[in-house]
Chain A
Amino acid sequence: MSISPNPVYDLQQIFQWPFMQHAFEAGTIVAIVAGIVGYFVVLRKSSFAAHALSHIGFAGAAGAVLFNINPVFGLLAFTSGGGFGIAVLGPRASSRDVEIGTVLAFMLGLGVLFISLYTGYATEAYSILFGEILGISSSDVLMTLIVGLIILTAIAVVYRPLLFASLDEDVAEAKGMPILLLGIIFMLLVAVATSIAVQVVGVLLIFSLMVTPAAIAQRLTKRPQYAVAVSVAIALMATWLGLFVAFYEPYPVSFFITSIVFILYLLVRFMARIHVLP
């Protein structure tokens, strides 16, 4: 099969397949969630923490596979625990690097152990690390939808205080805002968003949906509301386009998604350099 000049026909072809439907559904939810959460990750300079959470999730997913549980549950449990720990141990963002890195390395080691204990070694590890969106079931989609809605509701509630605390933590603290609680909520949001995003791009490529689209959006608009919208749009576009191309080409979806956002990122940086963008 190859891409025809008529995209409507192509989409009809693609959506004949239930696995492609599921991939688009899950991919859409994940892109929206990751685009929004990602804006706060970039604003709070927590991309290293997000990266670490996905690695901690690797251990959880591998452990779940070992005990024959859905890897998403393992991911949720480990990333939430890890996120809570990161938020509580190092309330000040600037002091977190070493603590996070220490836990991250240990968790990766644990994941390696779990994977080696499991007989189906190669494929499971591969799909956790790099994503396996084409293998998503309808129950996975339902779960992704529920988790996604929970995240969106939570963000709607904390949006304003979290935004202010992310911009000006000292003043927020002096205003009597619950900085620690906001930090914990934020890390839990990242943890849960990571858990569902791993299905699409995998543990190692989480940046492509969680960080890069938001980083691009920040360079395109200075209003947080708009930046969140642009970030979501970029994540959606990359996911849809990646799925579309991957249907016709024998290469992994996550490769296409990461490539699309990376090219966009380079483009925006270049435009800023030649002063087309501020």
Chain B
Amino acid sequence: MITTRTEAVTAKIDAIPAITADNLSAGYPDKTVWRNANFKINRGEFVAVIGPNGAGKTTLFRLLLGLQQPLSGSIKIFNSRPRRGNSQIGYVPQRHTIDDDVKVECIELVQLAVSANRWGLTLFSNKEHKIALKTLQAVGTLELAHRSLGDLSGGELQRIFLAEALVSNPEVLLLDEPLSNLDIRRGRDLVQLIDSVVRKRNVTAFLVAHDINPLLPFLDNVIYIANGKVATGKPKEVLTSECLSALYEIPIEVLHDSKGNIAIIGSGADTDKEMDLLGSNRCTPCGDEEEERKK
């Protein structure tokens, strides 16, 4: 705790967190999706956002993009409030594909992402073209530059979307379910690519996923959203029976296989017995276990 003033200041600048949430609640005026989230994500971290469908994972992204306002509490990106059109953010929305009859070559989309907001007829400059090519190369898709967007496979398309997001050199990457349409192998390749981008460029990446396993070896933090609550921490801290049971308010078991994969199993069948087995919860966002037990 004993530091000189200069050291403290330097440490502070280095340690400006990429994202902080304080008592953050999100949703719509008539419906709170989740409440009381507190977390701090540092620059250059790779973070998975997981949880069941409809839990509010995309809502978190909408808050960060400034497309939605918090119901209460605050969320900050590098100490300032989110705003629409923040060029510090690269975004890959949740979507399945681009229609196969879109006959526009990939590099066009990546180029447009550099300067889409420039109004007036200006044809592409050489500079934009070079930036786009460089970004395509960085994600290993140079050979797709002149292919049609509509002709790409799911994995290829996700790489192009990644290039589209990266081309403006963002500090934060928001990737909404990029793995959802990929087979295990392609998914693993994409996660490796994202991880290398995170490390090389020191960007902070949030990745929404359903299956945590392909991500586990790479993750710095996990944001687990379920049951109107948010648990955050290192994967080892969050992905435990205690923490997830507290989150879901039903007994959850986290099983590990020999390769470090996990399986999250919830059972509500024999609630009394299993709650007893679990004992006390050390990681408790809030405690409604009493009610659960009475049922």
Contacts and interface: CB of A to CB of B under 8 A. Distances in A.
Interface of A: 43, 45, 156-161, 163-165, 167-168, 170-177, 218-219, 222-225, 227, 278
Interface string B135-146: 000000000001
Given A161-B116, A176-B84, A218-B101, 5 more contacts: A160-B120, A170-B93, A174-B65, A222-B105, A222-B148
B117 A167 contact: no
A161 B119 contact: yes
A167 B102 contact: yes
B112 interface: yes
A278 B116 CA distance: 28
Nearest to A152: B121
Given A168-B109, A174-B91, A224 B104 contact: yes
Interface of B: 65-67, 83-87, 89, 91-93, 95, 98-99, 101-105, 108-109, 112-113, 115-123, 146-149, 151, 164-165
A171 B167 CA distance: 13
16 contacts: A156-B120, A159-B120, A160-B112, A161-B119, A167-B108, A168-B113, A168-B164, A171-B93, A171-B165, A175-B85, A175-B87, A176-B66, A176-B83, A176-B84, A222-B146, A227-B104
Contacts of A158: 119
Contacts of A227: 103-104
B116 A160 contact: yes
A225 B111 CA distance: 13
Q: Is the interface of B mostly helix, strand, loop or mixed?
A: loop
Contacts of B84: 174, 176
Contacts of B123: 225
Given A160-B122, A170-B95, A171-B93, A176 B117 contact: yes
A218 to B, nearest CB: 4
A171 B118 contact: no
Contacts of A223: 104-105, 108
A174 B117 contact: no
B109 A167 contact: yes
Contacts of B119: 157-158, 160-161
Contact of B113 (A156, A164, A218, A225): A164
Contact of A222 (B66, B104, B115, B117): B104
Contacts of B85: 174-177
Contact of A160 (B67, B115, B148): B115
A218 B100 CA distance: 12
Contact of B67 (A45, A174, A222): A174
Contacts of A173: 67
A170 B67 CA distance: 11
B118 A43 contact: no
A171 B89 contact: no
Contacts of A43: 102, 104
A168 B94 CA distance: 12
A40 to B, nearest CB: 12
A159 B116 CA distance: 9
A177 B67 contact: no
Most buried by B among A159, A164, A173, A219: A164
Contacts of A278: 148, 151
Nearest to B123: A225
Most buried by B among A156, A171, A172, A219: A171
A172 B93 CA distance: 11
Contacts of A222: 103-105, 108, 146-148
A175 B66 CA distance: 10
A174 B89 contact: yes
B121 A156 contact: yes
Contacts of A45: 99
Nearest to B176: A170
Contacts of B112: 160, 163-164, 167
B267 to A, nearest CB: 38
Nearest to B62: A174
B120 A157 contact: yes
Most buried by A among B93, B112, B120, B151: B112
Contacts of A167: 98, 102, 104, 108-109, 112, 149
A159 B121 CA distance: 6
Contacts of B109: 164, 167-168
Contacts of A219: 103
A225 B104 CA distance: 10
A159 to B, nearest CB: 5
A171 B112 CA distance: 11
Contacts of A168: 109, 113, 164
Contacts of B83: 176
A161 B117 contact: yes
Nearest to A167: B109
A167 B101 CA distance: 12
A202 to B, nearest CB: 27
Nearest to A165: B116
Nearest to B122: A160
A227 B151 CA distance: 17
Contacts of A160: 112, 115-116, 118-122
Contacts of A175: 85, 87, 113, 116-117
